[in-house]
Amino acid sequence: MAKVKATFFLPLRDNDGRDLRPEIRGAEVELYSAFVGFTRMGVVTGAYVMTDGTRSDDELMSYFLMLDEERIPELREVLTRFKGKTTQEAIYFELQYNTVIDFI
Mean of all residue pLDDT scores within the chain: 94
Write the pLDDT tens digit of every residue in 32-59: 999 999 999 999 999 989 899 999 899 9
Those residues with Cβ within 8 angstroms of residue 102's Cβ, 6 or more apart along the chain or in another chain: none
Write the pLDDT tens digit of every residue in 55-64: 989 999 999 9
Query: Rounded to whole angstroms, how far apart are CA atoms 22 and 4?
Result: 27
Those residues with Cβ within 8 angstroms of residue 17's Cβ, 6 or more apart along the chain or in another chain: none
Q: How confident is the model at residue 2 (pLDDT cuts 50, 70, 90)?
A: confident
CATH number assigned to the domain with residue range 3-97, chosen from the 4 options 3.40.50.460, 3.30.70.120, 3.40.630.30, 3.40.50.150: 3.30.70.120
Tell me if 63 sits within 8 A of 8, measured CB to CB. yes
Q: Is the dihedral of CA 76, 28, 59, 84 positive or negative?
A: positive
Instruction: Give residue limits of the domains in the chain.
Output: 3-97
Query: Rounded to whole angstroms, how far apart are CA atoms 104 and 102?
Result: 6
Residue 93 zone, left/alpha/beta (φ > 0; ψ -120 to 50; rest): beta
